[in-house]
Structures are given as structure tokens and as C-alpha cells.
């Protein structure tokens, strides 16, 4: 049976990564020719040695490379990053809360998707949840897109709006964004791979 190999990059809590592992890792799907195939998360990488996600991964026995960016220029880091990823020969690389601006060294050599916690093109960057909460718009959202050279700007794979609730706190809004992420990210990942659930 064909295996689609995923390599996941993260920087912090890793809750989206853990959700992807629980919902997709070693599960079977059907591709667009009707053939059964499976997904395997072959490895992960974190740029932050203190990240909670490193601990959370332990029960799954999936390799985790810790590659700190401290003291490295962006191009130096991305050269090492690309080398590490290629060692695992993934079908697709998944940015799951990987809080780094990537250089062309990465974007030209690695086929990757990214999750972003806003309805793109609104609120690009590292503070998307707070920025959309504080905006005049009556919605936030979640987007999953192909990674391109421009930050948070590649072709959208899937996105969904999240209507704001009057009087809601930032914390509650953030929690609803994460709930939407946990639904949308696995769906978008399957879409990116051309897979669907087995009946
Ligand atoms: C998620 O909300 C993800 O969308 C966001 O970081 C969080 C990671 O949480 N990514 C970005 O803001 C990328 N620009 P997690 O580590 O618990 O999955």
C-alpha cells in the first residue's frame, strides 16, 4: 500500500501537530484513483528547545529533531533545516505553528503547507489572532495554504470564517479559533494530498 510521508515543523505547544497525528498518522485513506493508501508522520522538527510540543510527542514514538535557530543567520538555519527534512524524504512538509520567516532556500526546495489563524489575506504575521480580534471585522478565521516565498500568501487550500460573538474575551475567541483549526487542518491536509476518508 502506498504511504504518504509527512514531516511536521512546530515551535511551541504543538496542539495542531498532536491533533494531526491523532487523526491521520497510520490511518488509511483512498486516493483519487480509488486506491487505498496510508499516512505516516515520519518525523518532526522544532526550532525551540523549550517547546511543550516536544514532551507531548513522546507517547507517539515519532522522531523529533530539535534544531535551534539561536546564533544562526536565516539562510544558515534554512540550509540546515532543508538538509534535515530531506533526510526523511517526505511527500509533504507541514508547518504547524512553526514561527519562522522562511527564505527561498526553504521555499524553493521543500513542498509545504501552513496553517494560519486568520481569514487570509487579512492579518498576516505572528499576531493574527489578536489582530483579528481587535479589528473592526465581525469575523476571524483559519486558513491553510501552500507555502510560497511571500509570508502567509501562498494559494489557499481551505479556509473558514469564524463569526465573532459580542462581548467575548480574547481568550474565548482564541479557544474557538483553535477548535476550528483542529477541524480544518486535517481536512485541508487530505485535500492537499488528494485523499479522502475510506467509506
Ligand atoms: C496556531 O494557532 C497556528 O495557526 C499559529 O500558531 C499556533 C500554534 O499552536 N500559526 C501561526 O500563527 C503562523 N503564522 P499549536 O503549537 O498549539 O499548534
98 CA from centroid of ligand 1 (Å): 7
Which of 96, 159, 184 to probe ligand 1 with, by most ligand atoms within 8 A of CB?
A: 96
Closest among 116, 72, 65 to 86, alpha carbons compared = 65
Q: In b/e form, how buried is each residue of 52-72, taking b as 16+ CB within 10 angstroms?
A: ebbebbeebebebbebebeee
Whether the ω angle into residue 121 lies within 30 degrees of 0, i.e. cis, is yes
- Max Cα-Cα span within the chain: 51
Grid coordinates given for 109: 526546495
Number of H helices, E strands in the chain: 6, 9
Ligand 1: atom nearest CA of 124 is 14
Q: Are 144 and 158 in contact (CB under 8 A)?
A: yes
Q: How many CB atoms lie within 10 A of CB 4?
A: 21
116 labelled catalytic: yes
Residue 117: the pLDDT is: 98
Residue 198: the pLDDT is: 87
Compute CA 92 distance to the chain's CA centroid, rounded to the nearest angstrom: 11
- pLDDT per residue as tens digits for the range 49-84: 999 999 999 999 999 999 999 999 999 999 999 999
- pLDDT per residue as tens digits for the range 161-189: 999 999 999 999 999 999 999 999 999 99
Residue 60: the pLDDT is: 97
Q: Pocket residues for ligand 1 (CB within 6 Å)?
A: 10, 12-16, 53, 96-97, 115-117, 126, 128, 181
102 CA from centroid of ligand 1 (Å): 15
pTM: 0.97
72 CA from centroid of ligand 1 (Å): 23
Give the closest residue (by CA) to ligand 1 atom 13.
116
- pLDDT per residue as tens digits for the range 128-170: 999 999 999 999 999 999 999 999 999 999 999 999 999 999 9
Amino acid at each position: 500500500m502506498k504511504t504518504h510521508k509527512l514531516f511536521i515543523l512546530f515551535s511551541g505547544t504543538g496542539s495542531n501537530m498532536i491533533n494531526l497525528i491523532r487523526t491521520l498518522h497510520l490511518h488509511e485513506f483512498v486516493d483519487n484513483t480509488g486506491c487505498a493508501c496510508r499516512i505516516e508522520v515520519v518525523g518532526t522538527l522544532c526550532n525551540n528547545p523549550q517547546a511543550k510540543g516536544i514532551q507531548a510527542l513522546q507517547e507517539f514514538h515519532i522522531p523529533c529533531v530539535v534544531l535551534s535557530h539561536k546564533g544562526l543567520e536565516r539562510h544558515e538555519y534554512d540550509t540546515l533545516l532543508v538538509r534535515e527534512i530531506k533526510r526523511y524524504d517526505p511527500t509533504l512538509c507541514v508547518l504547524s505553528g512553526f514561527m519562522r520567516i522562511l527564505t527561498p532556500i526553504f521555499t524553493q526546495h521543500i513542498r509545504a503547507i501552513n496553517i494560519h489563524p486568520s481569514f487570509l489575506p487579512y492579518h498576516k504575521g505572528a499576531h493574527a489572532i489578536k489582530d483579528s480580534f481587535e479589528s473592526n471585522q465581525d469575523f476571524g478565521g483559519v486558513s491553510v495554504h501552500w507555502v510560497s516565498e511571500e509570508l502567509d500568501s501562498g494559494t489557499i487550500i481551505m479556509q473558514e470564517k469564524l463569526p465573532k460573538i459580542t462581548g467575548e474575551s480574547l481568550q474565548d475567541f482564541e479557544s474557538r479559533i483553535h477548535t476550528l483549526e483542529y477541524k480544518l487542518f486535517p481536512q485541508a491536509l487530505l485535500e492537499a494530498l488528494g485523499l479522502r476518508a475510506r467509506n
